[in-house]
């Protein structure tokens, strides 16, 4: 498992170290940010600022669970995705 995950983690860390945010105008598209309400890595305070990247609607949804809430709150997460994708059809 280490042989599989170590290169993935190294690549993630390399991206984080090299990435520079470009100041650009917000997009005119709706954004929905979904987070786990017990997540210490990406809590509501980290997710809420995504609002600045849109001039359209912004929705912030907190689901039960931590950083991997998509596994522990799978049904709720899939319901959110279904509702969001229905909007675009």
Residue ranges per domain, the chain?
26-87
User: Is residue 28 a contact partner of residue 54, using CB atoms and an 8 Å limit?
Assistant: yes
pLDDT one digit per residue (tens) for the chain, 89 residues: 889 889 999 998 998 889 888 889 999 999 999 999 999 999 999 999 999 999 999 999 999 999 999 999 999 999 999 988 876 66
User: Is residue 52 a contact partner of residue 26, using CB atoms and an 8 Å limit?
Assistant: yes
pLDDT at position 89, please? 64
- Residue 35 main-chain phi, psi, to 5 deg: -140, 160
pLDDT at position 87, please? 66
Q: Cα–Cα distances in Å, from 41 out to 35, 52, 83?
A: 10, 20, 26
pLDDT at position 28, please? 96
């Amino acid at each position: 498992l280490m042989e599989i995950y170590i290169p993935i983690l190294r690549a993630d860390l390399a991206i984080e170290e090299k990435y520079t945010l470009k100041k650009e105008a917000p997009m005119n598209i709706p954004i929905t940010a979904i987070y786990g309400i017990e997540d210490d890595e990406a809590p509501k305070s980290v997710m809420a600022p995504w609002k600045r990247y849109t001039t359209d609607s912004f929705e912030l949804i907190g689901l039960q669970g931590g950083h991997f809430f998509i596994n522990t709150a799978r049904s709720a997460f899939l319901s959110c995705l279904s509702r969001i994708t229905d909007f675009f059809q």
